[in-house]
């Protein structure tokens, strides 16, 4: 399910972030079993991408961001969250 090859694919992480923000069933599955949920929903992440996803989730938790509340965030706030994910992924990918 996870490959050591390849770097960070922004488009995959963006699709994953959008699904996490828009799909309550996916969020519940991922909260209970992230690797299993990724596999069931067809995501094949590189090891670097998985590490980034785990760090991003931890950052959201530390900041008190509950993705179950994104429906009330509005488009501007969601765009900001996606932008931060992209900027972080670019920084990780360039290392």
pLDDT of residue 63 exceeding 70, the answer is: no
The number of domains in the chain is 1
Q: What domain range is 32 assigned to?
A: 10-93
**CA 92 to CA 30: how far, in whole Å?**
23
Note the pLDDT of residue 2. 47
Does the residue 44 lie in any domain?
Answer: yes
Contact 9, 53 (CB under 8 A): no
- Which element (helix H / strand E) includes 15? helix 10-22
Contacts of range 81-86, beta carbons closer than 8 Å, 24 or more positions apart: 81/17, 81/21, 82/14, 82/17, 82/18, 85/13, 85/14, 85/17, 85/56, 86/10, 86/13, 86/14
Mean pLDDT of 50-69: 76
> Which stretch, 1-10, 15-24, 30-39, 51-60, has highest mean pLDDT?
30-39
Q: What is the pTM of this model?
A: 0.64
Does the residue 28 lie in any domain?
Answer: yes
Does the residue 34 lie in any domain?
Answer: yes
């Amino acid at each position: 399910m996870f490959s050591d090859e390849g770097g960070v694919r922004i488009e995959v992480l963006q699709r994953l972030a959008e699904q996490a923000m828009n799909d309550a069933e996916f969020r519940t599955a991922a909260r209970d079993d992230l690797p299993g949920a990724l596999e069931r929903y067809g995501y094949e992440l590189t090891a670097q991408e998985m590490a980034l996803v785990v760090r991003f989730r931890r950052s959201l938790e530390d900041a008190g961001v509950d993705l179950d509340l994104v429906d009330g965030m509005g488009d501007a706030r969601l765009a900001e969250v996606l932008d931060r994910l992209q900027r972080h992924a670019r920084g990780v990918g360039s290392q």
